[in-house]
Structure 1
Amino acid sequence: MKDLLKQNVATIVTKNINTAPIFRKHKIDFSCHGDMLLSKACEEQNVNLKQIVKELNAVNDNIYYLKDYNSWELDFLIDFLVNIHHDYKEENILFLREYGEKVTKIYGKEYKELKKVNVLIQEITEYILEHMRNEENTIFPYIKKLIVAKNKNHIPDTKNSPLNEPIDSLEDDHEKVGYAFKQISKLTNNYFLPRDACISYKILYLKLQQFEEELYKHIHIENNILFPKAKKLERSFYKV
């Protein structure tokens, strides 16, 4: 982990995914706001810079291939996002939508934060599902066409750079959903359970916390690995 102070947060995590838990622990957003230098990110979150550098330098540099997303071919990365991440997100956000309603009806009067949490879950569910459909039906197939064109030394008509605008829109989606989960985390005091919480309450918080972690990993892979590489690939077809 060399020259950490010269790198932005996204670059650090992209180079070594093993650093992600450290940033999550310190509430530093490497997914949607990874363009900040480490020093700036620490300043905003009131994190001791020397301490986090020490923690990052202690991270294992040996990255397990199945987590080294930055080394994967783009088409394989897309298949992984669709077949693993999208399936997980669809199954679990639908579960959270149903379970959030159930738990809120039972305990909403006693725990006021549950009502606000449930409203956020209901609001983002269709948003997330539509976002994934958009990726699977438009952006991902287009990126795969670029990959095929490159492999066949074929030059597609991409002078209008159709990736820029839709990717900006997808990144806006990431920002909105990420913000919603920050609100959920705040409302639940980082998923801290009341002493007398029943099993249903515990399941809801556990599933929300797991979903948030997977969500940020998914956003990181797209914002900081897939999208920049796809844009670079597209630009390569019309360099003068």
Structure 2
Amino acid sequence: MNKSVATIVIENINTASVFKKYKIDFSIHGNMLLSQACEEKNTNLKHILKDLKAVNDKVYYLKDYNSWKLDFLIDFLVNIQHEYKEENILLLKEYGEKVAAIYGEEYEELIEINLLILKVADSILEHMKNEERIIFPYIKKLIEANTKKIVTNTSNSPLNRPIDIIEDDHQKVSKTFKKISELTNNYKMPENACISFKVLYLKLQQFEELLNNHIHIENNILFPKAKKLEQSLIMLS
């Protein structure tokens, strides 16, 4: 299959579970060809192709992000995913500190996990504010200009340098959660784990999954389409 990992997931979001199983990144390094990704992970290409073939081809509209209009996609990112991230990053901070304080001596990795959560929490919140304040309004302005066939000023476009910063943030946050995943042995809980311990690991796992999905939507669908739209408007002006 001579396609990039991101393209495969864009065409069928259900394939994300296969790449998750083989620990192949489809959000940050999604432009890598499947064959290259398998080589890098020392994974048998035939095994992955078999699993990909077995995945359900039916993609429900609510998960078919590539078919959504850009303004609807932005509203989804802000009202659903950003809201989830804002609420849950604060919850992760609370439980990270609580569980580290109680079990830190017995499970030393909890100390590092708590530090990683604290390190990344503020940057995630600031990152979302930058998107909502700068990137998303500009893309909506492009959509309006295209709909009304009017000339719009693209001279101070945030789809270049600011986007690079956003994508760099994505990479750093993704790397942090991969480290947390390693420290938790893929969120494997001790048998004697209390409710707080279980909540922390469950929330971390859910957050990483949504984070990868969010980054995939922005890096591989929203931003490329926005740049293409901007370019079409520049050519018309």
TM class, shorter-length: over 0.9
| Offset at residue 160 of structure 1 (A) | 5.5
Q: Counterpart of 1:8?
A: 4
Instruction: Give the structure 1 partner of residue 230 of structure 2.
Output: 234
1:158: Cα distance to partner? 1.3
> Letter of the aligned partner of 1:97 in structure 2?
K
2:83 counterpart letter in structure 1: D
1:111 aligns with 2:107: yes
Q: In the TM superposition, what whole-angstrom CA distance separates every residue of 1:136-194 from its partner, at most 9, and x where no partner exists?
A: 01100000000000000012121454311111110000000000000000111111112
- Residue matched to 1:91: 87
Q: Could you tell me how far apart the structure 2 residues matched to 1:234 and 1:225 are?
A: 14
In structure 1, distance between residues paired with 2:158 and 2:87? 31
Query: Which amino acid counterpart does residue 207 of structure 1 have in structure 2?
Result: K
Unaligned runs of 5+ in 2: none
| Greater mean deviation of Cα atoms: 218-227 or 157-166 | 157-166
TM-score by length of structure 1 reads 0.96
1:37 equivalent in alignment to 2:44: no
Q: CA deviation at 1:195?
A: 2.2
Partner amino acid, structure 1, of 2:31: D
Partner of residue 54, structure 1: 50
After TM superposition, give the deviation of residue 222 of structure 1 in Å. Answer: 0.3
Is 1:23 aligned with 2:31?
A: no
Matched, 1:164 2:160: yes
Structure 1 residue 239, shift from structure 2 partner: 2.3
User: What RMSD in Å do the two structures reach over aligned CA positions?
Assistant: 1.0
Aligned pairs, how many?
Answer: 236
Rounded Cα–Cα distance in structure 2 between residues aligned with 1:147 and 1:119: 41
Equivalent in the alignment of 2:209: 213
Structure 1 ranges of 4+ moved more than 4 A: none
1:159–1:238: 8 Å Cα contact kept in structure 2? no
Tell me the amino acid that sits aligned with residue 95 of structure 1. Answer: L
1:147 alignment partner, one of 138, 143, 146 = 143
Q: Secondary structure at the match of 1:35?
A: coil
Distance 1:123 1:223 in 2: 23
Contact 2:138 2:158 in 1 (8 A): no
Question: Quick check: 1:187 aligned with 2:166?
Answer: no
Greater Cα offset, 218-227 or 192-201: 192-201
